[in-house]
Amino acid sequence: MTDLIPSLDHAFWIVAALALIAGTVRGFAGFGAGMIMIPFVSALYGPKIGASSILVADGILTIPYILKSLRICEPKTVAPVALGAALMIPIGAYLLTTADPTPIRWAMVPLIAGLLAITLSGWRYHGIPKVGVSLATGGLSGFLSGLIQLSGPPVIVLWMSGPFPPQTIRANIFVYFAVTSTVAVIAYAFAGVFTRDLIPVLVPMIPCYAVGLALGGRFFGKADPKLFRRVAVVLIGLAVIVSLPVLDPYLR
């Protein structure tokens, strides 16, 4: 039992600080927590703990936000994106575990950078995204989720480029990640990823992440809508950096 009690070493406080920051970002923008938490927690405890710990903490603590988001999201917009992602998550995960994903990841870097460029350009379209576009975007997002745990950028660019206000975009993101997280939990459970080794990591992570979610959510309600777009752009830029395979020795 003593191995389940976390020691108050530097790793404990690093996880606590990261969880507070990641929770604040997630509460405000609706995404971005994985980009902050996974690389560093993976460096401390290994990639399985890095990915599964944030999945558990986020899955439990965002339930109230998901329920609230269900009332203001656009179901017809979220459904095809979530379906496309759910179909492609297992494929990305399969490549991650059975093949060398490095060449694919290098190919994804300019793709994510291109999505960032589209966002920075200020390009907009009018109307609701077509089903085919939404399915393809969700598929790309799910593939990135399974391969490198970075599913946010494609769907964020899709919805930010449309006519939706920040409140709707954020609600769509919460509902979308609820679906993809459910798929990931099932896949991880079958793979035996959830072990007792998670407990010492979740002890500092869950309370700090909860505080961060509350802070971010409160700040979102008071912030200028333009700030939401700026934060999203910064997070997509961070995704470009984090996804670089050359940084694996330092971030993973």
**pLDDT reported for residue 101:** 62
Structure tokens at 209: 């992440």
C-alpha span between 99 and 191 (Å, rounded): 17
Q: Which of 11-20, 137-146, 171-180 has the lowest mean pLDDT?
A: 137-146
**pLDDT reported for residue 189:** 83
Condensed to tens digits (0 to 9), the pLDDT of residues 94-137 reads 776 677 767 766 777 787 777 777 777 766 666 778 899 999 99
Instruction: Tell whether pTM > 0.75.
Output: yes
Contact 91, 147 (CB under 8 A): no
**pLDDT reported for residue 7:** 59
Supply the Cα-derived Rg of the chain in whole angstroms.
17
Residue 170 has pLDDT above 60, yes or no: yes
Nearest alpha-carbon partner for 153 in 91, 212, 109, 97: 109
**pLDDT reported for residue 6:** 57
Residue 248 has pLDDT above 60, yes or no: yes
**More confident site: 106 or 66:** 66
Condensed to tens digits (0 to 9), the pLDDT of residues 205-235 reads 999 999 999 999 998 878 777 787 788 778 7
